[in-house]
Amino acid sequence: MKVNPIQFFRQVRQEVKKVTWPTRKEALQVSFVVILIVAIAAVFFFFVDIALAWLVRVILGMGV
């Protein structure tokens, strides 16, 4: 079914009105949680990378 551009934008506007937008407090809380999880993941993968690099050096005989 083809919809002309004007009708399409009317439908988009109607759908956007149905969206429940988060409050400022909710947005800040979710952002904090995301930043915290990313930081934890970064630290975890940093140490995994160091451990794997050490393991590869040991396996290849390049020192301990």
- Segment 13-24, tens digit of pLDDT: 999 999 999 999
Distance, first Cα to last Cα, the chain:
67
Q: What is d(CA 13, CA 2) in angstroms, rounded to the nearest whole number?
A: 18
Residue 26 parent element (H or E):
helix 24-59
The confidence score (pLDDT) of residue 64 equals 57
pLDDT at residue 22 in the model: 94
Instruction: Find, among 38, 45, 42, the residue nearest to 53 by Cα.
Output: 45
Q: Is this prediction's pTM over 0.85?
A: no
Token pair of 52, please?
């794997």
Return the DSSP state at 1.
-
What residues does each domain of the chain span? 24-64
pLDDT tens digits, residue range 23-64? 999 999 999 999 999 999 999 999 999 999 999 999 998 765
- pLDDT at residue 63, as a whole number: 62
